[in-house]
Chains A and B, each alone.
Chain A
């Protein structure tokens, strides 16, 4: 079984939504019911965040790589090779949407300045606008890994 990593600027916004769409667990676009949604403390460590197993037994994770997703993807793929594994063991699916840098910067707003409220409000707004794009990306991704 392999590991699938949905890579975004953060691991708790669009990448988490994408992972849950992949796992068919998102209902009525209710992002706030997703475990860990917009939880920037969870994202800050930099460690991959485990979401669940898919029907094939593949372990699904999310990961926040900051503003440089392309660099993050490249490093992870090269690290997999350096450690003696391949894309059959670990697959990286970058998720880029309009406003993903804003999602990243939400974590920099201090709590006293309404950071937690702004984080949820702006995240929901951006994700509602981009949800159809994420759904399309995941549909294509599912087809690509089934081959």
Chain B
């Protein structure tokens, strides 16, 4: 099964949620900025990456985990993804997870300053505060998704 975590830029909340799902980061303690920056794609995307489905890894159940930046395409994006899967006859092969409900103001401000304005030194500390503040909510989202998809990757019901 394929799991796609999506957020505005595909650079922060979706990356962290996917990393938590894959066990790339310790879910028991809030990560430092260095740990976050060591994650693939974290705060490293550019405009051309919008709309790209990028592979993050394979989880313990054999599910493929991806991330996606959807810009301001809102809540309907999950339905677009699921609708396409449905008409292809692959509805049960896909889970789309919207991370935007877990994104706080500091993440938005820090992410915008770092990625869109290119002011990395100014944006990253704010992004770090925001990310640490919402860390537990993202752990929760990734765990719910991981448990929901456990064993489905290998076709075990």
- Residue numbers of A with Cβ under 8 A of B are 3, 5, 44-48, 59, 61, 63, 65-68, 70-76, 78-80, 82-85, 89-90
Q: Assess the B80–A75 pair: CB atoms within 8 A.
A: yes
- Contact A90 B87, beta carbon cutoff 8 Å: yes
Binds A, one of B49-57, B118-126, B149-157: B49-57
Instruction: Say whether B79 contacts A45, CB under 8 Å.
Output: yes
Interface of A is mostly: mixed
Q: Does B26 touch A at the CB level, under 8 Å?
A: no
- Can you list the 4 inter-chain pairs with the closest CB atoms, starting with the nearest? A46-B76, A46-B79, A71-B51, A74-B51
With a CB–CB cut-off of 8 A, which chain B residues contact A45? 76, 79
Given contact pairs A68-B72, A83-B2, A46 touches B53 in the complex (Cβ within 8 A): no
Q: Known contacts being A3-B87, A63-B83, A83-B85, is A75 close to B51, with CB within 8 Å?
A: yes
Which residues from chain B sit less than 8 Å from chain A, CB to CB? 2, 4, 50-53, 64, 66, 68, 70-88, 90, 93-94
Chain A residue numbers with a CB within 8 Å of B77 are 46
Query: Which of A44, A75, A89 is the one whose CB lies under 8 Å from B81?
Result: A75
Select from chain A the residue with minimum beta-carbon distance to B50: A71
